Amino acid sequence: MRIIALSTLKAFWEESPEYMDAKEPTLAWHRHTLHADWSSPAEVKQDFRNASILKDGRVVFNIAGNKYRLVVWINYAYRVVYIRFIGTHAQYDKIDVQTI
């Protein structure tokens, strides 16, 4: 898969030292996703059981033992993953995951 907006992930832990514990789990997600070849939400669920599949290609991943949430939009036909949001559960609760 091609991943767009890796800078969003890096900015999350680099700009806020209290989120440095998200770095390794997020990079592990990134490495796994780079080598994935998802053509459907079911294939995402095979790789990440705890992922939440939403409508319109959006997927929410739990990062660092469910401490953080990563929201992506996946274009399965083109094998592209767009990073839309990463944050704590409290930050996640303040967004509209369908429009971010």
SS3 50: coil
DSSP for residue 15: S
pTM, entire model: 0.94
- Whether residue 85 lies inside any domain: the answer is yes
Task: Identify whether 20 is part of a domain.
Answer: yes
Contacts of 73 (CB under 8 A, 6+ apart): 56, 57, 58, 59, 81, 82, 84
Any domain includes 41: yes
Q: Is residue 96 part of a domain?
A: no
Q: What is the CATH number of the domain that holds 66?
A: 3.30.2310
Write the pLDDT tens digit of every residue in 54-97: 999 999 999 998 899 999 999 999 999 999 999 999 999 999 99
With bands split at pLDDT 50, 70 and 90, how would you rate the model's confidence at 100? confident
Residue 17 lies in a domain: yes
Residue 99 scores a pLDDT above 90: no
Q: Give residue-wise pLDDT tens across range 28-42.
A: 999 999 999 999 999
82 within a domain of the structure (yes/no): yes
Please report whether residue 98 resides in a domain: no
Provide DSSP, 74-100.
EETTTTEEEEEEEEEHHHHTTS-TTT-
DSSP secondary structure letter of residue 17? G
99 found inside a domain: no
Please state the domain count of the chain. Answer: 1
* Residues spanned by the domain of 61: 2-90
| Average pLDDT over every residue of 18-22 | 94
Hey, CA dihedral for 80, 10, 21, 88, is it positive or negative?
negative
Confidence (pLDDT) at 98: 86
Quick one: pLDDT band at residue 4, thresholds 50, 70, 90? very high
